[in-house]
């Protein structure tokens, strides 16, 4: 990283809309501040962004909805906050806007900011390769620079005459900085039986749909501890079904849980890649409303939904989606992972391939460098 630079009172407006985005946004803010301490931040994010120094205009938890049907019913709420954020941008007059993931909301902000003449830097762009690929052209029109965290994305964007830089994956930075808690088991009153981690997601709608089936499969295995990775940002009551079934919930200790696990059941999302980086054999699951699934099935243009399989461009881990996600199918796949050493070894070899593709670049530092270069030129 460069020496500390002075950019006066440069103002950056940063927006993320979910837990993983909040993590990546906060690390990016930290990297920028480490080299430009005078930079000011305002925007939309969560607890981590606030701790990193972002003056939060909106907490993303007020806005978050997911799924096609759910977004339809939550449309008015999203529109209300979209209007508020636009007004705040006009008042704040930032030198630059950084958008982190959260495509539906942030694409609208990108258009608005570009029309105002504000440079738009998109960190973790929308997954336009998954469906309606022509959106890439719109993205090209409304952004100044795009920073990708998936190694296959630059080649995809080249089809649309776009230069997108792969900056590394921020999860690698986060996991490298992780130090296992020496007394994790004792701290959480866990015994020394093998652990299977249950990762039902970080959003209310995900946990509501995923956790019940995960709990039911736990009854099919003896001498195994099934432990739920809970998140404090959700109402603790959402995990009551697990507690009633005698399954412990550990809050905001996912990395420690993975570090101690021999297998995992993971809701499709960022956590699938985190699990792979920890080299924990996993089965990926997902279930949504029938209407949302029917719409998605018609639109999706890729063969897989998990980041693990998408990056490898082959099936490294089993995906149990919608009707395939049953207690019996989950039991069968978990049993295969736990008892078939050849199968487990093939999965770990797939993980090695993914780690090689991800490389060793520090995503937060590299992206911070590019943003600081842009601000320096502007100033």
Quote the pLDDT of residue 69: 41
For 75, the domain range is: 11-168+361-378
Q: Is the pLDDT of residue 307 over 90?
A: yes
Residue 136 CA to residue 351 CA, distance in Å, equals: 29
Q: Is the pLDDT of residue 283 over 80?
A: yes
Quote the pLDDT of residue 4: 56
Q: Which of 281, 341, 287, 286 is nearest to 319 (CA)?
A: 286
Has residue 178 been placed in a domain? no
Q: Is the pLDDT of residue 43 over 90?
A: yes
Residue 266 CA to residue 273 CA, distance in Å, equals: 10
C-alpha torsion angle, residues 178, 309, 370, 144 (rounded to 10): -140
CA of residue 267 relative to chain centroid, distance: 11
Residue 178 CA to residue 174 CA, distance in Å, equals: 7
Q: Does 87 lie in the same domain as 227?
A: no
Q: Is the pLDDT of residue 290 over 70?
A: no
- Tens digits of residue pLDDT in 314-360: 999 999 998 899 999 999 999 999 999 999 999 999 999 999 999 98
Better-predicted residue by pLDDT, 359 or 69: 359
Q: Does 256 lie in the same domain as 336?
A: yes
Residue 293 belongs to domain with CATH number? 3.40.50.2000
Q: What are phi and psi of 167, to 5 degrees?
A: -105, 5
**Which residues of the chain form beta strands (DSSP E)?**
11-15, 40-45, 54-59, 96-100, 120-123, 145-148, 165-166, 195-199, 225-230, 248-251, 261-267, 282-286, 318-321
Q: Does 201 lie in the same domain as 148?
A: no
- Tens digits of residue pLDDT in 162-180: 999 999 999 998 999 999 9
Q: Does 258 lie in the same domain as 366?
A: no
Is residue 374 classed as helix, strand or coil in its secondary structure? helix
Number of independent structural domains in the chain: 2
Q: Does 93 lie in the same domain as 36?
A: yes
Quote the pLDDT of residue 65: 55
Q: Does 104 lie in the same domain as 147?
A: yes
Cross-strand bridge partners of residue 267: 285
Q: Does 242 lie in the same domain as 337?
A: yes
Quote the pLDDT of residue 71: 45
What pTM was estimated for this model as a whole? 0.85
Q: Is the pLDDT of residue 1 over 50?
A: no
First to last CA, the chain: 20
- Average pLDDT over the chain, rounded to an integer: 91
Q: Is the pLDDT of residue 158 over 60?
A: yes
Q: Please state whether 102 falls in left (phi above 0), alpha (psi between -120 and 50) or beta.
A: left
Q: What are phi and psi of 197, to 5 degrees?
A: -85, 135
């Amino acid at each position: 990283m460069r020496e500390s630079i002075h950019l006066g009172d440069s103002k950056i407006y940063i927006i993320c809309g979910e837990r993983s985005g909040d993590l990546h946004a906060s690390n990016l803010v930290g990297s920028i501040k480490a080299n430009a301490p005078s930079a000011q931040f305002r925007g939309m994010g969560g607890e981590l962004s606030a701790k990193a120094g972002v003056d939060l205009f909106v907490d993303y938890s007020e806005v978050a909805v997911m799924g096609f049907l759910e977004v339809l019913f939550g449309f008015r709420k999203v529109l209300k906050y979209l209007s508020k954020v636009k007004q705040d941008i006009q008042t704040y007059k930032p030198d630059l806007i950084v958008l982190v993931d959260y495509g539906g909301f942030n694409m609208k902000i990108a258009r608005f900011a570009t029309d105002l003449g504000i440079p738009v830097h998109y960190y973790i762009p929308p997954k336009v390769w998954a469906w309606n690929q022509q959106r890439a052209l719109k993205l090209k029109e409304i952004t100044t620079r795009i920073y990708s965290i998936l190694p296959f994305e630059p080649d995809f964007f080249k089809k649309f005459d776009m230069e997108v830089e792969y900056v590394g994956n921020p999860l690698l930075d986060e996991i490298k900085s992780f130090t296992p808690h020496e007394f994790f088991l004792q701290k959480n009153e866990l015994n020394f039986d093998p652990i299977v981690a249950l990762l039902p997601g970080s959003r209310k709608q995900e946990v509501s749909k995923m956790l019940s089936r995960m709990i039911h499969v736990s009854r099919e295995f003896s001498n195994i501890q099934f432990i739920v990775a809970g998140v404090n940002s959700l109402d603790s009551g959402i995990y009551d079904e697990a507690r009633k079934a005698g399954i412990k919930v550990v809050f905001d200790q996912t990395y420690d849980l993975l570090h101690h696990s021999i297998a995992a059941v993971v809701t499709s999302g960022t956590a699938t890649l985190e699990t792979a980086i920890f080299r924990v054999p996993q089965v990926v699951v997902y279930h949504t409303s029938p209407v949302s699934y029917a719409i998605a099935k018609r639109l999706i243009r890729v063969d897989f939904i998990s980041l693990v399989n998408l990056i490898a461009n082959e099936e490294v881990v089993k995906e149990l989606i919608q009707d395939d996600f049953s207690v019996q199918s989950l039991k069968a796949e978990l049993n295969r992972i736990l008892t078939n050493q050849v199968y487990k070894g093939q999965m770990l070899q797939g993980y090695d391939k993914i780690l090689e593709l991800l490389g060793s670049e520090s995503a937060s530092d590299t992206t911070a460098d590019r943003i600081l270069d842009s601000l320096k030129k502007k100033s």
